[in-house]
Amino acid sequence: MRLTLQYPLDRVALARYLGYPSHQPPARDLPLLQQAEREILKTAAPRCVFARFALARTEEGLLLGGTKILLEGEDIARHLAGCHSAILFAATLGAGIDRLLLQAQVQDLARSVMLDAAASVAAEQTAEGAQRAAEAALCKEGEYHTGRFSPGYGDLPIGLQRQLIPLLDAPRQIGLTVTSSAILAPRKSVTALIGIADGPVRGRLAGCDHCLLREKCEWRKRGMRCGGA
């Protein structure tokens, strides 16, 4: 499924990615930031793919129904507590963004930083769009859903990416692959699980306390939080 992104991107999120203390870009940087937004939006080809699976609870843990994929870890179990099914989705900005960022890294460091921040915000907005599309298409009337939870959150292994990408046929559907070290390619991409229940359910929120990067995060060191917090 093709998704759309609109100009401008979320400026507060952009300012946060770039480390501006006021969460607003200063006037002197605004022209460069606006140009970065336009380049990202011109180059991006946002797409997503999604599917719904029943959840099976076994002695080993949660299984995606009809597969042998085990959702390991206490955090994902708590996130999906009370859920009978889950939506799995993958979303990407496309390979053109990777090429643009690589080229900018060689040519102009300041432009590269702006482009990377704009691409990160665009990827987050694409994931939000993919989640809304998946919920609209796959949730039945009267069902409730959690927020999204991605491999690498809490104790859900990042290596799970290697099983989820083929399950969605993402390489053929949206050009999204995964390396042997579980890195998504293109890089500005997201996979996530959303729980579905017959009654109100919140799931476990992602955030600093559950992030595998919490000890290295530059935002956290500055007393700030990322968009997933």
166-220 pLDDT, tens digit each: 999 999 999 999 999 999 999 999 999 999 999 999 886 555 554 555 555 555 5
Read off the pLDDT of each residue in 224-228 and give the average, rounded to a whole number: 47
How many residues are present in the chain?
229
Q: How many CA atoms lie within 13 A of 186 on its CB side?
A: 25
Among left, alpha and beta (phi > 0; psi -120 to 50; other), residue 66 is left
Residue 118 lies in a domain: yes
70-71 and 184-185 beta bridge pairing: unpaired
* Residue, of 28 and 224, whose pLDDT is higher: 28
Strands (E) located in the chain: 47-57, 62-64, 70-71, 85-92, 144-149, 177-178, 184-185, 189-197
Residue 1 lies in a domain: no
Read off the pLDDT of each residue in 117-142 and give the average, rounded to a whole number: 97
Residue 6 lies in a domain: no
- State which residues form the domain around 33: 11-221
Q: Confirm if 62 and 111 have CB atoms less than 8 A apart.
A: no
pLDDT bucket at 228, cuts 50 / 70 / 90: very low
Residue 93 lies in a domain: yes
- Percent share of the chain, pLDDT over 70: 89
pLDDT of 130 higher than 50? yes
> pLDDT value at position 226?
52
Read off the pLDDT of each residue in 77-101 and give the average, rounded to a whole number: 97
For the chain, what is the domain count?
1
Residue 3 lies in a domain: no
Read off the pLDDT of each residue in 42-65 and give the average, rounded to a whole number: 96
Read off the pLDDT of each residue in 138-155 and give the average, rounded to a whole number: 95
Residue 40 lies in a domain: yes
Residue 113: CATH number of its domain:
3.40.109.40
Residue 5 lies in a domain: no
